[in-house]
């Protein structure tokens, strides 16, 4: 029985009736331990082991990915924040759409297994099974997308132990027909835990985008994420500051609700580009709660323009770096500061 079917119990029928040909998950919880992926027609990660040298943070040894990359996927970019609630999922989705609008082939993998948001943000349909072992990703605005909430529904808690969550992540990487992609964006969970470690071990990440809000409370946690990415040998591509300022209807003035300049200070401290300063805008919340991205609903808003610009900066820099004979991200590099 496939892993997708084995983990089904955790999700039951919370997402409603299952349309014909779509993936279901019905086996009893804990009915078996996760098995390593068997031969499947999905994308392969070359050289990936099932266990490996996880190292505790602070140790000198670096975790080097054993994988050679997901077949057909040219760049894997993690979007991480350290802290939850700073807009990481919103930014992942909108960045993905901004890249897609530039003519690139893009996918989003929601790795926030315990707090998945991408289904709520897109209302993307439950993925269809390609065969016993493999799923077709769902789609939103031309972006391929997968999230555990597509199976469970957004209101159901993901009650599973760490190894099970890690195995699910592995399946999302290797047993989803991602096809030919320029970018696979990974919406990371907050914190510096097992999923991040596992991901870095499973697949070589081209880089990570750091998301913060301006105040120190958020920046402290991003610094922890920075330390984690360094330990995991993941290059950092830049900082996105979210909820930077608020422009009120009546005065047109920028109000710095969460203080001013935290993102740019962090970027400077790290020697990274500040990719965007995204305004705090109630329409972002409204459109998100309706399952529509601001990139789609308000393409002329300052927020959308910031996503377009940061997508362009990331893509231009990676194209340049890879053209110059770089290894596609397997090593530290900094984007040029424009």
Question: Which residues of this chain interact with ligand ADP, rule CB under 6 A?
Answer: 81, 84-90, 117, 242-243, 278, 280-281, 284-285, 288, 303
**Distance between the two ends of the chain, CA-based, in angstroms?**
52
The CA distance from 335 to 326, in Å, is 12
Q: Which CB atom, from 81 or from 313, has the smaller least distance to ligand ADP? A: 81
Q: Which CB atom, from 157 or from 285, has the smaller least distance to ligand ADP? A: 285
- In angstroms, give the least distance from the CB of 301 to ligand ADP: 10
- In angstroms, give the least distance from the CB of 221 to ligand ADP: 11
- In angstroms, give the least distance from the CB of 90 to ligand ADP: 3
| Tokens 């998100």 belong to residue | 288
Structure tokens at 38: 């068997």
- In angstroms, give the least distance from the CB of 144 to ligand ADP: 19
Q: Which CB atom, from 128 or from 194, has the smaller least distance to ligand ADP? A: 194
| Residue 92 near residue 223, CB atoms below 8 Å | no
- In angstroms, give the least distance from the CB of 284 to ligand ADP: 4
Q: How many CB atoms lie within 10 A of CB 261?
A: 14
**Residue 277 parent element (H or E):** strand 274-278
Q: Which CB atom, from 66 or from 292, has the smaller least distance to ligand ADP? A: 292
Q: Which CB atom, from 237 or from 240, has the smaller least distance to ligand ADP? A: 240
Structure tokens at 217: 């409370």
**Residue 76 parent element (H or E):** strand 73-80
Q: Which CB atom, from 137 or from 190, has the smaller least distance to ligand ADP? A: 190
What burial class does residue 68 get, using C-beta atoms within 10 Å of its C-beta: 0-12 exposed, 13-18 middle, 19+ buried?
Answer: middle
- In angstroms, give the least distance from the CB of 251 to ligand ADP: 18
Rounded to 5 degrees, φ, ψ at 194 are -60, -40
| Tokens 């893509």 belong to residue | 315
């Amino acid at each position: 029985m496939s892993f997708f079917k084995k983990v089904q119990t955790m999700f039951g029928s919370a997402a409603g009736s299952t349309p014909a040909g779509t993936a279901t998950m019905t086996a009893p919880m804990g009915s078996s331990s996760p098995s390593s992926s068997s031969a499947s027609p999905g994308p392969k990660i070359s050289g990936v082991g099932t266990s490996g040298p996880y190292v505790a943070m602070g140790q000198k040894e670096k975790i080097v990915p054993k994988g050679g990359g997901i077949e057909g996927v040219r760049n894997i970019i993690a979007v991480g924040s350290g802290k939850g609630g700073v807009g990481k999922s919103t930014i992942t989705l909108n960045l993905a759409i901004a890249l897609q609008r530039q003519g690139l082939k893009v996918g989003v993998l929601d790795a926030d297994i315990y707090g998945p948001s991408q289904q709520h943000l897109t209302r993307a349909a439950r993925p269809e099974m390609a065969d016993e072992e493999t799923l077709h990703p769902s789609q939103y605005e031309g972006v391929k997308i997968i999230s555990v909430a597509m199976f469970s529904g957004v209101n159901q808690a993901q009650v599973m132990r760490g190894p099970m969550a890690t195995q699910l992540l592995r399946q999302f990487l290797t047993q989803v027909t991602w096809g030919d992609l320029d970018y696979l964006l990974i919406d990371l969970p907050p914190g510096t835990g097992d999923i991040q470690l596992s991901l870095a071990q499973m697949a070589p990440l081209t880089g990570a985008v750091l998301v913060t809000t301006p105040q120190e409370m958020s920046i402290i946690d991003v610094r922890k994420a920075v330390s984690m990415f360094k330990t995991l040998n993941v290059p950092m591509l830049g900082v996105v500051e979210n909820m930077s300022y608020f422009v009120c209807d009546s005065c047109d003035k920028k109000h710095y609700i969460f203080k001013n300049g935290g993102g740019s200070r962090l970027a400077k401290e790290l020697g990274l580009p500040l990719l965007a300063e995204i305004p705090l805008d109630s329409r972002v919340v409204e459109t998100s709660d309706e399952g529509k991205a601001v990139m789609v609903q308000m393409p002329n808003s300052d927020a959308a323009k910031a996503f377009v610009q940061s997508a362009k900066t990331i893509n231009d820099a990676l194209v340049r770096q890879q053209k110059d004979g770089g290894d596609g991200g397997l090593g530290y590099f900094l984007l040029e500061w424009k």
